[in-house]
Chains A and B, each alone.
Chain A
Amino acid sequence: MAEKILTVRNRAGIHARPAALIAQTANKFASEVLIQKGETTINAKSIMGVITMAAGYNTTLIVKAAGSDEEAAVNAIYSLFENKFEED
């Protein structure tokens, strides 16, 4: 199990386009990838799940992955957040 703390850095928060990016990225990995916001945990491979979190600017999330490529999956999601989903 690998995990990392994420911060939403783009102004608009996680709307449809970033959610799609996250789901696409997560789908590249065989590991199960989960994102936790508060007490709710969602599957990062599902766009609707990621949107449901309604994570706004500066929200703190935790990404968790379990499987053969867990480290790579967590790092890929982390770099998406750090690059502000290529927005702003």
Chain B
Amino acid sequence: MADKDFTVLDLLDLDLKGHNSLNLHCLTGRRGLVREITIPDLNRPGLALSGFYESFAYQRVQLFGLGEVAYLNKLHAENNDSAIRQLFSYRIPCCIFTHHLQPTEQFTKIAEESGCPVLQTELESTEFSSRLLRVFSNIFAPKQTLHGVLVEVYGVGIILLGDSGVGKSETALELIERGHRLVADDIVEIRCVNGNTILGQGANKIISHHMEIRGLGIINIAQLYGVGAIREQKEVQLVVKLEEWDANKVYDRLGTKQNTIEFLGVKVPALEIPVRPGRNVPIIIETAAMNERLKSMGYHSARDFNQNVLKWIESGEAQAAYYGSDDIY
């Protein structure tokens, strides 16, 4: 959930582009724009308008399509406003009219009185519902802030984690220099979408794509390396933990077992990479990214290597048995 409550005004203010745009504008009830949307879902109020209020989901956004508006027009013609008054006796977050449909005068008047905002969009009901639900699932997704750098390397979203001063930003800078992309430095906001994907982005549009490099200060990556070196958001597909080389610690030498870290209930593959002067960490990360892509294509270097070794041993033993000799070469 967002840090603060999500209001109808926030919904209107969302800066969405192209096929995500909701094309909403407010028709009436402006003072109600502060109403909160607590449930990320919508409701078609047809049953309620016809007088059936059992299990009426009034906390949801109410969507008025062709059917509802035809019914409102019928009520208007009959000069009957009791159904509308009853509807607005509930605290509805907002009403949205699709298809560029206009609410009737009596509807507008009662909405205004009850302080319920009425919005309009030119999209069709089906298209609008699917867009709105998509927006809601993004906004109401569980969120967390991480201290690290999110970069895209060969198309793989990698988050670099580690203590202050271990060289996360310097590593990211070298990766950018090598043609990869920065998503966010220092503060990475992650959220879980669809229950299985972790998306990461900068916490703030104004300062994302800036980096702090010790000795240099704050630099603007978009200006220095061009727009090709940055990205707005990226799925987190791999976690790389950088840490000071610890002589007593055993680091993975084979790569046959897959370690994971859990973020917001989703397991993400994780690597621990020890940092030591002279170790070229960016190249290791590039290799890790390519290896991760190979794995997703079904080729697992370490596992396949081991299978080949096993096969070779087996065939060697078979030969030895056949030839009755100790020397299999």
Which A residues contact B (CB, under 8 angstroms)?
A: 16, 27, 38-43, 45-49, 51-52, 54
Kindly name the residue among B187, B203, B204, B211 whose own CB sees the greatest number of chain A CB atoms within 10 A.
B187
B235 at interface, CB cutoff 8 A = no
Contact between B147 and A43 (Cβ–Cβ < 8 Å)?
Answer: yes
List 16 additional A-B contacts (Cβ < 8 Å) besides A40-B3, A41-B145, A46-B187. Answer: A40-B145, A42-B147, A43-B164, A46-B147, A46-B164, A46-B212, A47-B186, A47-B212, A47-B218, A48-B186, A48-B207, A48-B211, A48-B218, A49-B187, A52-B187, A52-B203
> Pick the contact of B147 from A27, A49, A54 — CB < 8 Å?
A49
- Listed by A's residue number, 12 A-B pairs whose Cβ atoms lie within 8 Å are A42-B147, A46-B164, A47-B212, A47-B218, A48-B187, A48-B207, A48-B212, A48-B218, A49-B187, A51-B207, A52-B204, A54-B204
Kindly name the residue among A42, A45, A48, A54 whose own CB sees the greatest number of chain B CB atoms within 10 A.
A48
Chain B residues whose C-beta falls within 8 Å of the C-beta of A52 in the assembled complex: 186-187, 203-204, 207
Query: Which B residues from 147 to 199 make CB contacts under 8 A with A?
Result: 147, 164-165, 185-187
Contact between B164 and A27 (Cβ–Cβ < 8 Å)?
Answer: yes
Chain A residues whose C-beta falls within 8 Å of the C-beta of B207 in the assembled complex: 48, 51-52
Q: Is the interface of A mostly helix, strand, loop or mixed?
A: mixed
The 7 closest A-B pairs by CB, nearest first: A48-B186, A45-B164, A43-B147, A39-B3, A47-B212, A46-B186, A52-B187
Q: How far is the CA of A40 from the CA of B3 in the complex (A)?
A: 7
Chain B residues whose C-beta falls within 8 Å of the C-beta of A49 in the assembled complex: 147, 186-187
Kindly name the residue among A27, A47, A52 whose own CB sees the greatest number of chain B CB atoms within 10 A.
A52
Minimum Cβ distance to chain A for residue B3 (Å): 5
Minimum Cβ distance to chain A for residue B151 (Å): 15
Q: How far is the CA of A60 from the CA of B203 in the complex (A)?
A: 20
0/1 string, B196-223, CB within 8 A of A gives 1: 0000000110010011100000100000
Q: Which residue of A lies closest to B3 (CB)?
A: A39
Kindly name the residue among A41, A43, A54 whose own CB sees the greatest number of chain B CB atoms within 10 A.
A43
Contact between A48 and B164 (Cβ–Cβ < 8 Å)?
Answer: no
Chain B residues whose C-beta falls within 8 Å of the C-beta of A48 in the assembled complex: 185-187, 207, 210-212, 218
0/1 string, B216-245, CB within 8 A of A gives 1: 001000000000000000000000000000
Q: How far is the CA of A52 from the CA of B165 in the complex (A)?
A: 19
Q: Which residue of B lies closest to A48 (CB)?
A: B186
Q: Which residue of A lies closest to B1 (CB)?
A: A39
0/1 string, B296-310, CB within 8 A of A gives 1: 000000000000000
Minimum Cβ distance to chain B for residue A71 (Å): 20
Chain B residues whose C-beta falls within 8 Å of the C-beta of A39 in the assembled complex: 3
Kindly name the residue among B185, B207, B210, B212 whose own CB sees the greatest number of chain A CB atoms within 10 A.
B212
Minimum Cβ distance to chain B for residue A32 (Å): 9
0/1 string, B33-64, CB within 8 A of A gives 1: 00000000000000000000000000000000
Chain A residues whose C-beta falls within 8 Å of the C-beta of B164 in the assembled complex: 27, 43, 45-46
Contact between A42 and B204 (Cβ–Cβ < 8 Å)?
Answer: no
Q: How far is the CA of A11 from the CA of B298 in the complex (A)?
A: 58
Minimum Cβ distance to chain B for residue A54 (Å): 7
